[in-house]
Amino acid sequence: MLKKYTPPATPNNPDPQPDIGTIWVEFNDDTSIGAEAMRKFAKFCSHEHYRTGMMILSGNVSSAAKKEIPKFAQWTSIEWFLEEDLLINITHHELVPRHVILSREEKMALLKRYRLKETQLPRILQRDPVAKYFGMRRGQVVKIIRNSETAGRYASYRLCV
């Protein structure tokens, strides 16, 4: 995991830190989450040095609360899920194909193999349910493996935006 989520070394950053770390998960019973509650949660996660903060909610998130999340992106990654969405594992549904997130090396090999630029890949939104389930970040590539009647198995690739 550390190798997969550590950016390559550059002259400016010879010893890069991994993009992953400790996670804080908090369950919230409130019927609605506002900007102040989200700001308080994000401040807690950043002050306690949690790399990711996950909030499991039984109610809705206001649009003002959603706007608070990017403000803390340089210190901590904040994710939120509705409790009802976590009752069933969506990746086990028969209509959802297998998704595999590629490492940086695999992504570069894919682009080199097909002589593509990153922008030429089809896209998957970061708020897509499966992308959100896997915690995909902007710039990551996912390999989607589907069953095909004619080819047996078919793989496609998507860039997270």
SS (H, E, C) 49-85: CCCEEEEEECCEECHHHHHHHHHHCCCCEEEEEEHHH
State the CB neighbour count (10 A cutoff) for residue 59: 13
| pLDDT tens digits along 30-61 | 888 899 999 999 999 989 988 889 999 988 88
| Predicted local distance difference test score (pLDDT) of residue 1 | 65
Is the pLDDT confidence value at 16 over 90?
A: no
The arithmetic mean of pLDDT across residues 118-146, rounded, is 91
State the CB neighbour count (10 A cutoff) for residue 33: 22
Write down the CATH number for the domain with range 89-161.
3.90.940.20
Which residue type occupies 139?
G
The answer to whether the 18-87 and 89-161 domains have the same CATH topology is: no
What fold characterizes domain 18-87?
Answer: 3.40.1340
Question: What are the domain boundaries of the chain?
Answer: 18-87, 89-161
- Whole-model pTM: value is 0.72
| pLDDT tens digits along 120-130 | 999 999 989 99
| Predicted local distance difference test score (pLDDT) of residue 97 | 94
